[in-house]
Structure 1
Amino acid sequence: MKKTFLILTAFILICACTQDSDNQPDVPIIDQPTLYTLPVVVHVIHDGEDIGGSINLAESKIKEQIEGLNNDFRRVKGTLGENNSPISDDAFIQFKLAEFTPEGEMTNGINRVNYFDVFPRVNDYVDLFDRLPKLANWDPEKYINIWVYALPPNTLAGRASFPSTDLPGLEGGLATIGDGVMVNSFHFGFSTVDGTVNLGKTLTHEMGHFLGLLHLWGLAHEGEDCFEYDDFVQDTPFVSRSISGCNGNIPLACDGSVAPTNNYMNLTSDECMSVFTKGQIARMRYVLENAPRRMTLRTSNAITRE
């Protein structure tokens, strides 16, 4: 899988597609759904450098990324999350930096950890979700743990754990110690890193996985029939392989139409991404209403609710 480079999620996926309306979450269509505000804690894993460095990110940069995440999920006009797609919508899901620690103390939602105080860092990311929780891990029933961890630029941009749910495609449940999202420090928020992953869309993509979305091409493997597996969302097209680039290297959907490059669950360039479909939104909201360690986030006391 490439987004001009490899992106891993909790599973390593190379996928194709089919769709079955019987597999869609039964979510009623209403004019204005309940707005879900979810608490996040950003664990900045650093090497002792001053705050504001390339690894020990400034508070302003972290707030900017969370604002961008909300712009994407809320489809805010005048931002990089805006789109005019008739099959998209406001997800009525937003994120707020935690205001209280697990001990009940006030916090800005940022937890800085010098990894040299715990154990030496390594560049191998195979067991990240078993290692990162040993550095920092707040109660996943109350917080979305986001680990910002430095790996070489343009190698691994991000990774996320999937929810435990009865939705098709996710029957395996959580297979790691840690539950949350990891984003490479060099691809967190707006960055000057070379390449096409520098506008903060990695966190949006990985948060989609955290809330139950698969890549558009689903769970298939090379050589399998185009219609054998899919992402189990009714309003996304059957897609036979990964989608990268905004204009070049665009595969056809299984029906012969051009596969969408603007969907957040592709591996396309950040500048293309601006769409969650209504079906994807319904799937994420179903997870928030039914899945362990997701449904409790809606009522967590880690934030004040307005």
Structure 2
Amino acid sequence: MKKLLFGALILGLVTACNRDNMPNQNEDTTNLENSSPSVVSKRNCPSEEMRKDAWQKDPSLMQKAAELETAAQKFANDVKFGKVLADGTVEIPVVVNVLYRTASENVSDARIAEQIDVLNSDFGGTNSDVSKIPTEFQPVKAGDVKVRFKLVNTVRKSTTKRSWDTNTYLSNKDMKRASTGGIDATNSKNYFNIWVVSGMKNLSGTILGYATFPESNGTWEDGVVIGLPFFGKTGTAAAFNLGRTTTHEVGHYLGLRHIWGDTNCGDDLIADTPTQTTYNTGVPTYPLYNTCYGVKRSVMFMNYMDYSDDITLYMFTAGQKTKMQSTVAPTGPRAGLRVL
């Protein structure tokens, strides 16, 4: 497993580019509207790219992210040496904002409840496929992350938008503002907002979802956006219809990076996740090996923060659990997210 060199990793957090997902700037964008989510071949989550774009526009967010990483490392050390307990369950109040053009896009209450159930089982470690975790990774599995989700409100709004597209690499944020046809967040400091939209695309193809990171806590755009075909367990995208897109994006929302560190043999700032060359797609077969820096390692392609199909994602690690616990702890950036 990785040995963290914290100063270097913070520099990497600030400067790394997602080389694997960089679009061809000469790519024809005229067919954005024509691609079908039912035939999406890989996960597309521009959360890190949007984060770096936000840092460029507001350097104070970059500084805050670095400070939060330092605090998260201190929290992890305090947990390790028994100075702080990370075993209290936090229940997060959720507001789901539904933007729909047709009756079929107006997500049912049952489907929303279904997605909340998926989050609670995945973060509670009670998901039915947790038994698939290989023996090799059993010692570092998270088990119960001690985070739960409670739906407190659903806001619905009819729209004429067919798709929330953009001709730039970064996704559109119009769904988050009433002034641009979307729905304003409900007090994002105290409520976790999820926006469900008909679809999103950028130059890399169909976007399944994206999230803001903890340094954006309380801002107008803070929360998670999910494309309708990938929401809940009754979505139309065959490879991504188990609700794990939302699990993946909530991981970002609570402070987790992609497991490959968004660059070749990168680092996600979590000590117990194996270093891997890049993201995985489809349904990999265990064991799968990568070689980084001359070391051959077994890859944790079943981690929720990889890009494998939903059916192949079923675990967080203990290190990821501690990172998320540091985010929702009384001293963490998302301390305000607690059901009263």
The C-alpha deviation readout for 1:223-279, integer Å capped at 9, x for no partner, is: xxx3xx410001001112112122269561523122111100000010011110000
Whether the 8 Å contact between 2:260 and 2:278 is mirrored in structure 1 is yes
Structure 1, residues 271-293: CA drift from partner, whole Å, max 9, x if none?
0111100000000110112443x
CA distance in 1, matches of 2:97, 2:87: 31
Question: Aligned residue for 2:26?
Answer: none
Q: Is 1:37 aligned to residue 94 of structure 2?
A: no
Q: Does 1:60 align with 2:60?
A: no
Give the Cα separation in 1 of the matches to 2:114 and 2:198. 19
User: In 2 relative to 1, CA 35–123 (structure 1 residues): closer, same or farther, beyond 3 Å?
Assistant: same
Q: Could you say what secondary structure the match of 2:297 adopts? A: coil
8 A contact 2:260–2:267 mirrored in 1: yes
Matching residue within 193, 212, 228 for 1:161: 212
Q: Which amino acid aligns with 1:162?
A: F
Q: 1:174 to 1:192 in 2, by over 3 A?
A: closer
Is this contact kept in 2: 1:163–1:211, CA < 8 A? yes
Question: Quick one: which of 230, 242, 246 aligns to 1:203?
Answer: 246
Tell me if structure 1 keeps the 8 A contact 2:140–2:272. Answer: yes
Aligned amino acid, residue 143 of structure 1: Y
8 Å CA contact 1:9, 1:159 repeated in 2: yes
What is the CA-CA distance between 1:6 and the residue it aligns to? 4.7
Match of 1:183 among 226, 250, 265: 226
- Which amino acid is the alignment partner of residue 73 of structure 2? Q
**Offset from partner CA, 1:55-83 (integer Å, 9 cap, x none):** 11111111011101110000116x24555
3-state SS in 2 of match to 1:206: helix
Task: Give the percent of matched residue pairs that are identical in Structure 1 and Structure 2.
Answer: 28
In 1, the alpha carbon distance for the partners of 2:71 and 2:213 equals 21
User: 1:18-68 CA deviation, whole Å, 9 max, x = no partner?
Assistant: xx9997343315787001100111111111x33xx2x11111111011101
Structure 1 counterpart of 2:177: 133
8 Å contact 2:98–2:157 — kept in the other structure? yes
TM-score of the superposed pair, with normalisation by structure 2: 0.68
* TM-score calculated relative to the size of structure 1: 0.75
Within a 5 Å distance, the mapping from 1:215-234 to structure 2 comes to 215-220=258-263, 226=265, 229-234=266-271
Tell me the distance in 2 between the aligned counterparts of 1:192 and 1:23: 35
Structure 1 letter corresponding to 2:245: T
Q: Deviations over 1:158-186 (max 9, x none)?
A: 1000111xxxxxxxx57984000001001
5 Å-filtered alignment, 1:1-150, equals 4-12=41-49, 24-27=73-76, 28-29=79-80, 33-47=87-101, 49-50=102-103, 53=104, 55-76=105-126, 79-80=128-129, 84=133, 85-88=138-141, 89-98=143-152, 109-116=153-160, 122-124=164-166, 126-129=170-173, 131-134=175-178, 135-136=182-183, 137-150=185-198
Unaligned stretches of 5+ residues in structure 2: 1-19, 22-39, 51-68
Q: In the TM superposition, what is the alpha-carbon distance from 1:157 to its structure 2 partner?
A: 0.6
Q: Find the aligned partners of 2:310 and 2:212 in 1 and give their Cα distance.
A: 21
CA contact (8 A) 1:65 1:188 kept: yes
Change in Cα spacing, 1:121 to 1:259, as seen in structure 2 (3 Å) is closer
Residue 285 to residue 258, structure 1, CA distance change in 2 (3 Å): same
The structure-2 alpha-carbon separation of the partners of 1:145 and 1:258, relative to structure 1 and needing over 3 Å to count, comes to: same
Deviation at 1:93, TM superposition (A): 0.6
Aligned-pair CA distance for 1:133: 3.3
Task: Report the Cα distance in structure 2 between the residues aligned to 1:176 and 1:138, rounded to whole angstroms.
Answer: 11
CA RMSD across the alignment = 3.1
The question of 1:282 aligning with 2:322 is answered yes
Kindly report which structure 2 residues correspond to 1:284-299, keeping only aligned pairs within 5 A, or say none.
Answer: 284-289=324-329, 290-292=331-333, 294-298=334-338
Structure 2 CA distance, aligned partners of 1:291 and 1:200? 27
Q: Tell me: higher relative CO, structure 1 or 2? Use CA pairs within 8 A at least 6 residues apart.
A: 1
**Structure-2 separation of matches of 1:244 and 1:72:** 20
Q: Distance in 2 between matches of 1:271 and 1:120?
A: 29
- Do the aligned residues in 1 keep the contact of 2:199 with 2:227 (CA within 8 Å)? yes
Task: Tell me if 1:265 matches 2:265.
Answer: no
Q: Given that residues 68 and 81 in structure 1 are in contact (C-alpha distance below 8 angstroms), is that contact kept between their aligned partners in structure 2?
A: no
5+ residue gaps, structure 1, are 14-19, 99-108, 165-172, 302-306
Distance in 2 separating the partners of 1:295 and 1:200: 25
Give the Cα separation in 1 of the matches to 2:235 and 2:274: 33
Contact 1:234 1:279 in 2 (8 A): yes
Does the residue aligned with 2:282 lie in a helix, a strand or coil? coil
1:87 partner amino acid: V
Separation in 1, partners of 2:273, 2:159: 41
**Further displaced range: 279-288 or 151-160:** 151-160
